[in-house]
Amino acid sequence: MGKKTYKENRFIIVSEIENPGGLKVGLIQLNRPDALNALNIPLLYEVMYAYEAFDEDNDIGCIVITGSQKAFAAGADIKEMAEISTVEMYFRDKFAVWDRIRRIKKPIIAAVSGYALGGGNELVMNCDMIVAAENSKFGQPEINLGIIPGAGGTQRLTRAIGKAKSMEAILTGKIYTAKEMYELGLITKVVSNDTYLDDAVALAKEVANKPAVAVRLAKECILKSFDTTIEGGIEFERKNFYLLFASEDKVEGMNAFIEKRKPVWKHK
């Protein structure tokens, strides 16, 4: 895959994947095998800092986040949460880290294999596209612990699969196969257990080969549709469309079409 190690962390492995002719792909691999990549707070901070570093790096065009074959992530760390009081959760705003994870501007692709449960599924749903191995299992089983999803699950799952199915998932804690979640519309594609990471990276390279300013504004517009009216969203889209007429890549893209040649993107 042409990876190079980027930075050492305790619970994640961060690397960059070369992509000749386009921008690079940033890869984050959750690496807490003894706990099925359960998301303790330090791990979430590592993910957040890695996301932010890639977001600020002009050489990176797209980010992929993955776990292991057995588990993308089996949820928030139950052992850590068992020790925390309401006062500590609330006054230290323990889940504020999720707000920064939510604000990443570059596209993020989840490469999922095995369990994506609770906070694991919420980390997946924070991504812009989801490539899932056939063996993946998705769910929000928090109800079985006497709690509810706490990192956006009630909102994101409902927007993705609708009220009726989201109610079933969250009120019963049902675990879904990749095929079921694909049919419900949560997932971009279901692929083989052997190639899921390569497939996600290939998709990321395809995005990283596109002009970065347009990619970023397209992501912003699509996300806007989740929290605005159709009127407001169309206005937001149009302003961003006009904005792109100031980019060098708009000139290059249109000239290349007219001159019948491949565009050479400057990502400016």
The contact set with ligand CAA (CB under 6 A) reads: 35-36, 38, 74-79, 115, 117-119, 122, 141-142, 145, 149-151, 153
Is 142 catalytic? The answer is yes
Nearest to 24 by CA among 50, 62, 65, 51: 62
C-alpha–C-alpha distance, residues 111 and 9, integer Å: 20
The residue among 77 and 199 lying less far from ligand CAA, judged by its C-beta, is 77
Tokens 């042409």, residue? 2
Apex 48 CA angle, 69 and 225, nearest 5: 90
What's the N-to-C CA distance of the chain in angstroms? 27
C-alpha–C-alpha distance, residues 30 and 66, integer Å: 6
Rounded to whole angstroms, what are the CA distances from 93 to 41, 96, 267?
11, 5, 37
The residue among 14 and 36 lying less far from ligand CAA, judged by its C-beta, is 36
Rounded to whole angstroms, what are the CA distances from 57 to 11, 15, 64, 244?
22, 13, 15, 21
- Minimum CB separation of residue 105 from ligand CAA in Å reads 23
The residue among 115 and 176 lying less far from ligand CAA, judged by its C-beta, is 115
- Minimum CB separation of residue 154 from ligand CAA in Å reads 9
Q: Which of 116, 139, 142, 253 is catalytic?
A: 142
Is 80 catalytic? The answer is no
Is 76 catalytic? The answer is yes
Q: Which of 119, 139, 152, 153 is catalytic?
A: 119
Is 233 catalytic? The answer is no
Q: Which of 35, 61, 122, 212 is catalytic?
A: 122
The residue among 79 and 262 lying less far from ligand CAA, judged by its C-beta, is 79
The catalytic site residues sit at 76, 119, 122, 142
